[in-house]
Amino acid sequence: MSPRLAIALLVALAALPPAYAAFVFAWRLTDVLALAVRLMGQDVPGEFWLPVASLTVRLIGISVALFVVGRMAKKARWPIAGLALLGAWGIAAPVLMLLADLR
């Protein structure tokens, strides 16, 4: 196996947990937005929209970071791919720590 292929495989495996965390953020976002649809027409306090904004920013952050990881890994720019992967792990850390506590 060539070293470039081995590194690409390791990067792809390291990107799986942040991708799963993005899935969890998207799932939670749909739950919150479904509640917002049910409450439509009622007076909803401004604090209700804070989790929506937080989940949206985290979901977009992980998605962009993993996109950069894929593009840079394709070009074999490993330092930039590593930094983007580190950013994705940093954004995904709350969900990953919560999942680790559930065992």
Model pLDDT, residue 66: 95
Residue 78 and residue 8 in contact, taking contact as beta carbons nearer than 8 Å: no
| pTM for this model (two decimals) | 0.85
Model pLDDT, residue 72: 94
Name the residue range of residue 30's domain. 3-101
| Band (45; pLDDT cuts 50, 70, 90) | confident
**CA angle, corner 43, sides to 40 and 49, nearest 5?**
75
Q: What sign does the CA torsion over 41, 44, 46, 50 have?
A: negative
Distance CA 83, CA 91 (A): 12
Indicate the number of domains in the chain. Answer: 1
E strand or H helix at 8: helix 3-14
